[in-house]
Amino acid sequence: MNTELDKVKSTITISLGLKNRLREAKGSASYEAFIAQLIRTRNELTHKDNYIELQKFQRKEKVYSFGDFKVLFSYNKYNQSQNFIFDIQISKIREEGRNILTISFGNEQLQSEYKLYFELLTLAIQNEIEPLFKHNGRFEDYGLWQKEFGLLGLPEKAFENDVMEKLNDYKNGVHYK
């Protein structure tokens, strides 16, 4: 069986056991992304407070529509860094086909600007993060969620309540909106 690791041109020789442990530890990430994460973790541990991570961001553009408005915005693509932060930038705002500089929300200006920002952030998260945890039609597909709960130091009870209970309800015909 050929895997991604087998296809990589390399002079590195590893045992089958190590290869299997590496495959299990990387989960759904590519080998390249997993190895990059291991290198970042090693650098953070080795250099502690003297470590600055230089990240190269790829930007994605999306359109968010509501009412007569269309907001063209961009954000940085998720890169699995522990220090990752979404950077949301609005390029254009259009109302009924005309470019405008700001959206007038009346007396609720500041509150509405925050609401727009969080709507754009929600859209970016849905596009970048949610696919990493999509359910593939099997009820055994909770491993990534369990690993994430562990990395965040959350108790097992939280995992049971937030993930397993919902999966079991879904399996039994209860659908959440």
Do both 122 and 146 map to the same domain?
no
Do both 28 and 66 map to the same domain?
no
Do both 34 and 66 map to the same domain?
no
User: Quick one: how far is CA 105 from the chain centroid?
Assistant: 31
Q: What pLDDT was estimated at residue 168?
A: 79
As a whole number of angstroms, the distance between CA 144 and CA 59 comes to 26
* pLDDT tens-digit map of 30-70: 888 888 888 888 877 777 776 666 666 788 999 988 878 88
The total number of structural domains in the chain stands at 3
Is residue 31 situated within a structural domain? yes
DSSP conformation class of 93: E
* pLDDT tens-digit map of 139-152: 556 777 788 788 88
Over pLDDT 90: what percentage of the chain? 3
Is residue 176 situated within a structural domain? no
Residue pair 95/69 in contact by the 8 Å Cβ criterion: yes
pLDDT above 80 for 161: yes
Matching residue, tokens 């007569």: 68
User: Quick one: how far is CA 98 from the chain centroid?
Assistant: 33
Q: What pLDDT was estimated at residue 61?
A: 92
As a whole number of angstroms, the distance between CA 159 and CA 80 comes to 22
